Structure 1
Amino acid sequence: MKKMLIAAAFAMAAGASHAADIVDTAKSAGTFNTLVTAVQAAGLVDTLKGPGPFTVFAPTDEAFAKIPKAKLDALLKDKAALTKVLTYHVVPGKVMAADVKPGNVKTVEGSNLAVTAKGGKVMVDKAHVVKTDIAADNGVIHVIDTVVMPK
Protein backbone atom coordinates (compact mmCIF):
# COMPACT_ATOMS: atom_id res chain seq x y z
CA MET A 1 0.00 0.00 0.00
CA LYS A 2 2.77 2.42 0.94
CA LYS A 3 4.60 1.70 -2.34
CA MET A 4 1.39 2.34 -4.30
CA LEU A 5 0.90 5.67 -2.56
CA ILE A 6 4.49 6.65 -3.24
CA ALA A 7 4.20 5.58 -6.89
CA ALA A 8 0.96 7.55 -7.24
CA ALA A 9 2.56 10.61 -5.67
CA PHE A 10 5.48 10.39 -8.11
CA ALA A 11 3.17 9.86 -11.06
CA MET A 12 1.21 12.97 -10.10
CA ALA A 13 4.44 14.91 -9.58
CA ALA A 14 5.92 13.93 -12.95
CA GLY A 15 7.10 17.07 -14.63
CA ALA A 16 7.20 18.93 -11.33
CA SER A 17 10.52 19.88 -9.78
CA HIS A 18 10.46 17.09 -7.20
CA ALA A 19 13.38 14.68 -7.11
CA ALA A 20 12.85 11.25 -8.64
CA ASP A 21 14.74 8.03 -8.00
CA ILE A 22 18.23 7.44 -9.41
CA VAL A 23 16.96 5.72 -12.59
CA ASP A 24 14.28 8.29 -13.41
CA THR A 25 16.67 11.15 -12.65
CA ALA A 26 19.24 9.64 -15.04
CA LYS A 27 16.56 9.11 -17.71
CA SER A 28 15.27 12.66 -17.51
CA ALA A 29 18.77 14.15 -17.75
CA GLY A 30 19.03 12.87 -21.33
CA THR A 31 22.81 12.36 -21.17
CA PHE A 32 22.80 8.90 -19.57
CA ASN A 33 20.95 6.87 -22.23
CA THR A 34 23.69 4.22 -22.49
CA LEU A 35 23.88 3.97 -18.69
CA VAL A 36 20.11 3.51 -18.42
CA THR A 37 20.21 0.86 -21.19
CA ALA A 38 23.03 -0.92 -19.34
CA VAL A 39 21.17 -0.78 -16.00
CA GLN A 40 18.13 -2.31 -17.72
CA ALA A 41 20.25 -5.02 -19.42
CA ALA A 42 21.85 -5.91 -16.08
CA GLY A 43 18.48 -6.12 -14.32
CA LEU A 44 19.43 -3.39 -11.83
CA VAL A 45 16.48 -1.04 -12.39
CA ASP A 46 14.52 -2.24 -9.33
CA THR A 47 17.63 -2.04 -7.17
CA LEU A 48 18.39 1.56 -8.19
CA LYS A 49 14.73 2.47 -7.75
CA GLY A 50 14.88 0.97 -4.25
CA PRO A 51 15.16 2.89 -0.99
CA GLY A 52 18.96 3.22 -1.04
CA PRO A 53 20.42 5.60 -0.40
CA PHE A 54 22.96 5.29 -3.18
CA THR A 55 25.76 7.45 -4.52
CA VAL A 56 26.19 6.80 -8.22
CA PHE A 57 29.21 7.91 -10.22
CA ALA A 58 27.34 8.07 -13.52
CA PRO A 59 29.22 7.93 -16.82
CA THR A 60 27.69 10.03 -19.58
CA ASP A 61 26.89 8.75 -23.06
CA GLU A 62 30.18 10.37 -24.17
CA ALA A 63 32.01 8.34 -21.51
CA PHE A 64 30.49 5.11 -22.85
CA ALA A 65 31.42 6.21 -26.39
CA LYS A 66 35.11 5.99 -25.37
CA ILE A 67 34.70 2.20 -25.11
CA PRO A 68 35.23 0.48 -28.49
CA LYS A 69 31.81 -0.48 -29.90
CA ALA A 70 32.58 -4.21 -30.09
CA LYS A 71 33.72 -4.24 -26.44
CA LEU A 72 30.67 -2.25 -25.28
CA ASP A 73 28.30 -4.51 -27.25
CA ALA A 74 29.92 -7.60 -25.70
CA LEU A 75 29.66 -6.07 -22.23
CA LEU A 76 25.96 -5.27 -22.71
CA LYS A 77 25.35 -8.94 -23.59
CA ASP A 78 27.30 -10.33 -20.60
CA LYS A 79 24.95 -9.73 -17.67
CA ALA A 80 27.44 -10.85 -14.99
CA ALA A 81 30.28 -8.66 -16.30
CA LEU A 82 27.91 -5.74 -16.89
CA THR A 83 26.53 -6.01 -13.35
CA LYS A 84 30.08 -6.02 -11.98
CA VAL A 85 31.00 -2.87 -13.93
CA LEU A 86 27.79 -1.02 -13.06
CA THR A 87 27.84 -1.83 -9.35
CA TYR A 88 31.46 -0.61 -9.31
CA HIS A 89 30.00 2.85 -10.02
CA VAL A 90 27.73 2.71 -6.95
CA VAL A 91 28.64 3.45 -3.33
CA PRO A 92 26.21 2.71 -0.49
CA GLY A 93 24.87 5.81 1.23
CA LYS A 94 24.31 9.37 0.05
CA VAL A 95 27.67 11.13 -0.26
CA MET A 96 27.40 14.75 -1.32
CA ALA A 97 30.40 16.48 -2.95
CA ALA A 98 31.20 18.42 0.22
CA ASP A 99 31.52 15.10 2.10
CA VAL A 100 33.86 13.41 -0.40
CA LYS A 101 37.25 12.63 1.07
CA PRO A 102 40.29 11.35 -0.87
CA GLY A 103 41.02 7.67 -0.31
CA ASN A 104 39.49 4.32 -1.12
CA VAL A 105 35.72 3.91 -1.07
CA LYS A 106 34.02 0.50 -0.98
CA THR A 107 31.59 0.02 -3.89
CA VAL A 108 28.46 -2.10 -4.07
CA GLU A 109 30.48 -4.39 -6.39
CA GLY A 110 32.82 -5.09 -3.46
CA SER A 111 36.11 -3.55 -4.49
CA ASN A 112 37.40 -0.06 -3.81
CA LEU A 113 37.21 3.05 -5.96
CA ALA A 114 40.19 5.36 -5.55
CA VAL A 115 39.01 8.91 -4.89
CA THR A 116 41.57 11.67 -5.40
CA ALA A 117 41.37 15.46 -5.26
CA LYS A 118 43.94 17.76 -6.78
CA GLY A 119 43.58 21.45 -7.54
CA GLY A 120 39.86 21.44 -6.86
CA LYS A 121 39.29 18.54 -9.29
CA VAL A 122 37.93 15.24 -8.00
CA MET A 123 38.63 11.93 -9.70
CA VAL A 124 37.34 8.41 -9.11
CA ASP A 125 39.91 5.98 -10.46
CA LYS A 126 40.81 7.57 -13.82
CA ALA A 127 37.49 9.39 -14.33
CA HIS A 128 37.03 13.10 -13.71
CA VAL A 129 33.94 14.15 -11.79
CA VAL A 130 32.42 16.80 -14.06
CA LYS A 131 29.18 17.57 -12.20
CA THR A 132 28.17 16.86 -8.62
CA ASP A 133 25.18 16.62 -6.34
CA ILE A 134 22.35 15.75 -8.74
CA ALA A 135 19.75 14.93 -6.12
CA ALA A 136 17.48 11.93 -6.35
CA ASP A 137 14.98 10.86 -3.73
CA ASN A 138 17.04 7.73 -2.99
CA GLY A 139 20.54 9.13 -3.30
CA VAL A 140 22.76 11.35 -5.37
CA ILE A 141 24.43 11.25 -8.79
CA HIS A 142 27.90 12.59 -9.55
CA VAL A 143 28.66 12.74 -13.29
CA ILE A 144 31.94 11.25 -14.54
CA ASP A 145 33.61 11.47 -17.95
CA THR A 146 34.90 7.89 -18.18
CA VAL A 147 33.50 4.45 -17.46
CA VAL A 148 35.57 2.99 -14.61
CA MET A 149 36.32 -0.72 -14.59
CA PRO A 150 36.79 -2.90 -11.52
CA LYS A 151 40.22 -4.46 -11.16
Structure 2
Amino acid sequence: MKKWIAGAAVFAAAFAAQAKDIVDTAVSAGQFKTLATALQAAGLVDTLKGPGPFTVFAPTDEAFAKIPKAQLDALLADKAKLTAVLTYHVVAGKVMAADVKAGAVKTVQGKDLTVSTSSGVMVNNAKVVKTDITADNGVIHVIDTVVLPPM
Protein backbone atom coordinates (compact mmCIF):
# COMPACT_ATOMS: atom_id res chain seq x y z
CA MET A 1 0.00 0.00 0.00
CA LYS A 2 2.84 2.41 0.84
CA LYS A 3 4.40 1.83 -2.58
CA TRP A 4 1.08 2.61 -4.26
CA ILE A 5 0.66 5.83 -2.26
CA ALA A 6 4.25 6.87 -3.03
CA GLY A 7 3.70 6.08 -6.71
CA ALA A 8 0.46 8.06 -6.77
CA ALA A 9 2.19 11.02 -5.11
CA VAL A 10 4.97 10.96 -7.73
CA PHE A 11 2.38 10.77 -10.52
CA ALA A 12 0.37 13.65 -9.03
CA ALA A 13 3.51 15.78 -8.67
CA ALA A 14 4.50 15.05 -12.28
CA PHE A 15 1.01 15.96 -13.50
CA ALA A 16 0.99 19.18 -11.46
CA ALA A 17 4.39 20.11 -12.88
CA GLN A 18 2.99 19.77 -16.42
CA ALA A 19 -0.04 21.96 -15.77
CA LYS A 20 0.86 25.58 -16.47
CA ASP A 21 -1.21 28.70 -16.20
CA ILE A 22 -1.20 31.39 -18.89
CA VAL A 23 1.73 33.28 -17.37
CA ASP A 24 3.94 30.20 -16.96
CA THR A 25 3.04 29.03 -20.48
CA ALA A 26 3.94 32.41 -21.97
CA VAL A 27 7.21 32.66 -20.03
CA SER A 28 8.29 29.16 -21.03
CA ALA A 29 7.64 29.98 -24.71
CA GLY A 30 10.56 32.43 -24.59
CA GLN A 31 9.11 35.03 -26.96
CA PHE A 32 7.07 37.00 -24.43
CA LYS A 33 9.73 38.52 -22.14
CA THR A 34 8.41 42.07 -22.60
CA LEU A 35 4.85 40.91 -21.99
CA ALA A 36 5.95 39.16 -18.79
CA THR A 37 7.75 42.34 -17.64
CA ALA A 38 4.66 44.40 -18.44
CA LEU A 39 2.34 42.01 -16.58
CA GLN A 40 4.63 42.24 -13.55
CA ALA A 41 4.74 46.07 -13.72
CA ALA A 42 0.93 46.24 -13.96
CA GLY A 43 0.40 43.79 -11.11
CA LEU A 44 -1.55 41.39 -13.34
CA VAL A 45 0.54 38.23 -12.90
CA ASP A 46 -1.62 36.83 -10.07
CA THR A 47 -4.80 37.56 -12.03
CA LEU A 48 -3.59 35.60 -15.07
CA LYS A 49 -2.40 32.80 -12.80
CA GLY A 50 -5.96 32.64 -11.41
CA PRO A 51 -8.67 30.18 -12.35
CA GLY A 52 -9.90 31.99 -15.46
CA PRO A 53 -10.57 30.85 -18.03
CA PHE A 54 -8.96 33.57 -20.12
CA THR A 55 -8.19 34.07 -23.79
CA VAL A 56 -5.06 36.18 -24.22
CA PHE A 57 -3.99 37.79 -27.47
CA ALA A 58 -0.29 37.86 -26.59
CA PRO A 59 2.06 40.27 -28.37
CA THR A 60 5.55 38.88 -28.94
CA ASP A 61 8.76 40.68 -28.01
CA GLU A 62 8.97 41.73 -31.67
CA ALA A 63 5.48 43.26 -31.41
CA PHE A 64 6.56 45.33 -28.41
CA ALA A 65 9.74 46.31 -30.28
CA LYS A 66 7.54 48.14 -32.83
CA ILE A 67 6.74 50.68 -30.10
CA PRO A 68 9.43 53.40 -29.88
CA LYS A 69 11.59 52.79 -26.78
CA ALA A 70 10.72 56.09 -25.07
CA GLN A 71 7.00 55.42 -25.59
CA LEU A 72 7.31 51.84 -24.30
CA ASP A 73 9.30 52.99 -21.25
CA ALA A 74 6.63 55.61 -20.51
CA LEU A 75 3.89 52.96 -20.85
CA LEU A 76 5.72 50.58 -18.49
CA ALA A 77 6.03 53.42 -15.95
CA ASP A 78 2.31 54.35 -16.08
CA LYS A 79 0.57 51.51 -14.21
CA ALA A 80 -2.98 52.67 -15.01
CA LYS A 81 -2.36 53.04 -18.75
CA LEU A 82 -0.33 49.81 -18.85
CA THR A 83 -3.13 47.91 -17.10
CA ALA A 84 -5.65 49.28 -19.62
CA VAL A 85 -3.46 48.20 -22.55
CA LEU A 86 -2.77 44.72 -21.17
CA THR A 87 -6.35 43.96 -20.15
CA TYR A 88 -7.40 45.05 -23.66
CA HIS A 89 -5.55 41.91 -24.83
CA VAL A 90 -7.64 39.60 -22.60
CA VAL A 91 -11.11 38.16 -23.15
CA ALA A 92 -13.03 36.29 -20.44
CA GLY A 93 -13.53 32.63 -21.32
CA LYS A 94 -11.56 30.16 -23.41
CA VAL A 95 -11.99 30.89 -27.12
CA MET A 96 -10.20 28.39 -29.35
CA ALA A 97 -9.31 29.27 -32.96
CA ALA A 98 -12.10 27.05 -34.31
CA ASP A 99 -14.62 29.14 -32.31
CA VAL A 100 -13.44 32.55 -33.55
CA LYS A 101 -15.99 34.58 -35.47
CA ALA A 102 -15.64 37.98 -37.11
CA GLY A 103 -17.10 40.86 -35.15
CA ALA A 104 -16.65 42.72 -31.90
CA VAL A 105 -15.55 40.95 -28.75
CA LYS A 106 -15.63 42.52 -25.28
CA THR A 107 -12.28 42.59 -23.48
CA VAL A 108 -11.60 42.46 -19.75
CA GLN A 109 -10.61 46.14 -20.10
CA GLY A 110 -14.20 46.91 -21.13
CA LYS A 111 -13.72 48.03 -24.73
CA ASP A 112 -14.30 45.86 -27.80
CA LEU A 113 -11.66 44.29 -30.03
CA THR A 114 -12.59 43.92 -33.69
CA VAL A 115 -11.93 40.45 -35.05
CA SER A 116 -11.80 39.94 -38.81
CA THR A 117 -11.32 36.68 -40.67
CA SER A 118 -11.27 37.78 -44.33
CA SER A 119 -7.49 37.42 -44.82
CA GLY A 120 -6.32 35.35 -41.91
CA VAL A 121 -7.40 36.27 -38.41
CA MET A 122 -6.82 39.87 -37.37
CA VAL A 123 -7.49 41.46 -33.99
CA ASN A 124 -7.81 45.19 -34.66
CA ASN A 125 -4.57 45.85 -36.60
CA ALA A 126 -2.70 42.80 -35.27
CA LYS A 127 -2.31 39.56 -37.22
CA VAL A 128 -2.81 36.35 -35.26
CA VAL A 129 0.35 34.38 -36.08
CA LYS A 130 -0.14 31.34 -33.85
CA THR A 131 -3.26 29.96 -32.20
CA ASP A 132 -4.41 27.61 -29.49
CA ILE A 133 -1.48 27.57 -27.08
CA THR A 134 -3.39 25.96 -24.25
CA ALA A 135 -2.83 26.55 -20.57
CA ASP A 136 -4.64 25.07 -17.62
CA ASN A 137 -6.62 28.31 -17.18
CA GLY A 138 -7.20 29.37 -20.77
CA VAL A 139 -5.61 29.82 -24.17
CA ILE A 140 -3.06 32.10 -25.81
CA HIS A 141 -3.20 33.35 -29.38
CA VAL A 142 0.03 35.04 -30.52
CA ILE A 143 -0.24 38.43 -32.26
CA ASP A 144 2.36 40.45 -34.13
CA THR A 145 1.36 43.94 -32.89
CA VAL A 146 0.41 45.46 -29.54
CA VAL A 147 -3.22 46.60 -29.79
CA LEU A 148 -4.20 49.80 -28.06
CA PRO A 149 -7.63 50.47 -26.59
CA PRO A 150 -9.58 53.44 -27.89
CA MET A 151 -9.05 56.39 -25.58
How high is the TM-score relative to the length of structure 1? 0.89
Counterpart CA distance in 2 for 1:48 and 1:143 is 16
TM-aligned CA deviation for residue 15 of structure 1: 10
Counterpart CA distance in 2 for 1:36 and 1:14 is 24
TM-aligned CA deviation for residue 14 of structure 1: 8.5
Aligned counterparts, 1:2-151, within 5 A: 12-13=13-14, 18-119=18-119, 121-151=120-150
Counterpart CA distance in 1 for 2:136 and 2:69 is 33
Structure 2, unaligned runs of 5 or more:
1-8
Query: Contact 1:19–1:135 (CA<8 Å) still a contact in 2?
Result: no
Structure 1, unaligned runs of 5 or more:
1-7
Percentage identity across aligned positions?
A: 77
Counterpart CA distance in 1 for 2:85 and 2:60 is 14
Query: Contact 1:63–1:145 (CA<8 Å) still a contact in 2?
Result: yes
TM-aligned CA deviation for residue 110 of structure 1: 0.1
When residues 68 and 14 of structure 1 are mapped into structure 2, their CA distance, relative to the original with a 3 A threshold, is farther
CA RMSD of aligned residues (A): 1.9
Query: Contact 1:94–1:139 (CA<8 Å) still a contact in 2?
Result: yes
- Report the residue type matching 1:36 in the other structure: A
Counterpart CA distance in 2 for 1:48 and 1:132 is 18
Deviation per residue, 1:80-122 (Å, 9 max, x gap): 0000000000000000000000000000000000000013x00
Instruction: List 4+ stretches of structure 1 deviating above 3 A.
Output: 11-16
Counterpart CA distance in 2 for 1:15 and 1:31 is 24
What SS class does the counterpart of residue 62 from structure 1 fall into?
helix
When residues 117 and 43 of structure 1 are mapped into structure 2, their CA distance, relative to the original with a 3 A threshold, is same
When residues 15 and 32 of structure 1 are mapped into structure 2, their CA distance, relative to the original with a 3 A threshold, is farther
Deviation per residue, 1:43-94 (Å, 9 max, x gap): 0000000000000000000000000000000000000000000000000000
Which of the two has higher C-alpha Rg? 2
Query: Contact 1:19–1:25 (CA<8 Å) still a contact in 2?
Result: no
